[in-house]
Structure 1
Amino acid sequence: MTAVSAGLVSMPGIRSLPKAEVHVHLEGAIELADLLEAAAHTGVALPGPAATLFDTSTHEPSARPSGATPLSAFLRFLDWEGSLFSTPQQLARLAYRFAARQSASGISYTDVIVNPAHWASWRRRPAAFLDALGAGFADAAADGLCAVGICASILRTASSAEAEELVTTLLGERPQGLVGVSVDGDERVSGRTAPRFADAFGLARRGGLRRTVHAGESSGPEGVWDALTLLHAERIDHGVRAVEDPRLVDRLAADGVPVGVCPTSNIALGLYARLDEHPVDALARDGVTVTVNTDDPAALGTRIETEWLLCAQAFGWDDGRVVGLARDSFRASFAPDGVREEGLEALARRADAMGAGERER
């Protein structure tokens, strides 16, 4: 482990930096206490022991069919989670608590990924679903908590017609807080999906929605190429396996397409054995705009300040590099211009106070 300077490279120092998070799933950020409370209220049985609920290997055999990959088992767990929340009031409360949790980590803006397919009571009412969440996020922002924009995600197993229907509905009803669309799910199981969603993403693009795509995780560089060329992705979620294709790395760097990297998540799923083997630093050194995020923080037991500190310790990032990471997090976000500029100005003031500014790339 490389020694790093004191100052901002510490848990309190990182927490104090204004920053954005651009790759975090609401479904993976619901705290254990909220799940247990909702399950008790609705009378729904837990799939496994309460104390190890996030560990899907401890769930009942009926909840973890044979042949399940770790990711597919986790996605089924998210379906169970979503089944617990059936009222707008429950959703607004979840949203408010999410914003409060983000604020506690010094995050002033978040692009949160939400997939209506995981929420049984809302699958046929995606606009109402997102509107209820948006109400909770709006209340949180009014109280001075983290501002949140919603990226509605298409599950990889959806058909092209289902994807187009979702986007058409969202464009027609414009739920509050919606900023973009996404694609998530198990790439390894679903195979190549970008051609199937090209029309839906075309609709989103023409309708003014931003586009981010999970790719380059369980798929290789070809998944990232598809996201760029077929889905016109403005940001890549994960994207780490782009490092296997130098031409793709050059493309990401030249076009300024950010990657929303989640190191702990990648290690948990076995992409890399240890953090010092992770390509997050290599991608940044090659000129790719890199952000470091939590993915599913409650399930993984992490926070954004933990992720940043672990990377700083593993790769020798100093105060200036951490400030640069915060700056890139705002630039990679889908925040409204005013929110982005306000965050960057607050960050500059904090960096100046610490004498930790980083030269512009």
Structure 2
Amino acid sequence: MPAPDLSRLRALPRAEVHVHLEGCFDAPLLERWARRHGETMPRPLERLFEFQGLADFLDFLDWACGLVRTREELAEAAHDFSRRMDRSGASYADLIVNPTHWRHWVARLPEMIDALDAGFRAAEQEGLPRVGLCISLLRTQSAQAAAQVVDELVALRHPRVVALSIDGNEATAGRTGPRFADAFRRAAAAGLRRTVHAGESSGPEGVRDAIELLGADRIDHGVRAIEDPSVVALLVERQIPLGICPTSNLVLKVYPSLEEHPIDRLRRAGVPVSINTDDPALLGTSLEREYALCAEAFGWDDEVLRDVARTSIEASFAENALKAQLRERLAGW
């Protein structure tokens, strides 16, 4: 089977549903911000994105986001993300932002959302794709802190915010589903969707908690569900989509190789799967590259690629009218 054509994959109508703004800063931009604010780089520029594991990776996110101090820099970050998405051919993105990484903004959530929205609105006026915001809790936060975030989001009712999310290192935080169940319930009651990181540094039990305790509409990663047939069956029964990030899982050593990655086994079992980048700048990848890697590793033909792209559209929190447009375009690809 010939190697997939990246330019053709860029033309594949699709959404991206698992990508973090914190992981979309290019090294030269971080270096410019560091110099502007007199911050020390953690490593030389050429090795800036070399990580020793998930903990080191998350520490780096805190450093990088700590460089963003002004409204203009936040808007710049949003605008840069929209350009990145457009280059990869994505037509919509659910973008995860976790305020706990942004030390200059963590107590200023409404201002943060407003600044990001300004960048996205400017990008959309230039014809760049639409972006929805998924505001994320961190697993080490308290139930009280989570409730405060939900209260702010409900009071704000900002049209840019489409979902409540949760992320962070499950392996170090332990089981946290019970702690955040009430926050997710109240978010859903207020009309927010729910997306949950699970089944990455936790096993299939994390995926089950995401479904049964947090009411996940979508699960970010979820790949380790493959270790428990009953959890796979639950995903199939409820048709809960997984936002899978193959390169991320390899770089962070969840799996040793793409050939051993379970995305194709999950798909064949009937689980809705989409392909995503997670942290594309830090991982040196792009959305079209992730599609190409999977197509080559698993022998996916156009029909499978179209099905996976369709899942990304259906799994997204885009407005129904935009989803309908994307489905129509996808039929003609």
Specify the TM-score bucket, using the shorter chain as the normaliser: over 0.9
Q: Which residue of 2 aligns with 1:61?
A: none
Cα RMSD of the aligned pairs, angstroms, is 1.1
**Consecutive unaligned residues in structure 2, runs of 5 or more:** none
Alignment of 1:1-361 (within 5 A): 3=1, 9-57=4-52, 70-349=53-332, 351=333
- Paired with 1:141 and 1:343, the residues of 2 have a C-alpha distance of 17
% identity of equivalent residues: 50
| 1-structure distance, mates of 2:24, 2:131 | 14
Q: What secondary structure, in the 3-state scheme, does the structure 2 residue paired with 1:212 have? A: strand
Give the letter for the 2:19 counterpart.
V
Unaligned runs of 5+ in 1: 58-69, 352-361
Distance 2:19 2:40 in 1: 27
TM-score w.r.t. the length of structure 1 is: 0.90
Q: Give the TM-score taking structure 2 as reference length.
A: 0.98
Give distance in 1, aligned partners of 2:125 and 2:226: 41
1:191-240: CA deviations, max 9, x gaps? 00111001110110001000000001111110011000110000000000
Whether contact under 8 Å (1:22, 1:260) holds in the other structure is yes
Which residue of structure 2 lines up, in the alignment, with residue 66 of structure 1? Answer: none
SS of the equivalent of 1:250 reads helix
Shift of 1:56: 3.6
Give the whole-Å Cα distance in 2 for the aligned partners of 1:136 and 1:155. Answer: 24
1:243-270 C-alpha deviation (Å, 9 max, x unpaired)? 1111111111121100011111111111
Structure 1's consecutive aligned runs of 4 or more residues displaced over 2 angstroms after TM superposition are none
What SS does structure 1 have at the residue aligned with 2:131? strand
Distance 1:334 1:303 in 2: 21
Work out the CA distance in 1 between the residues paired with 2:257 and 2:138: 29
| Structure 1 position 176, deviation (Å) | 4.4
- Once residues 89 and 262 of structure 2 are traced to their aligned partners in structure 1, the CA distance between those partners, rounded to angstroms, is 25
The count of residues paired between Structure 1 and Structure 2 equals 333
CA deviation map 1:298-331 (0-9, x unaligned): 0100001111111011101001111111111100
- For structure 1, which segment, 40-49 or 160-169, has the greater mean C-alpha deviation from structure 2 after superposition? 40-49
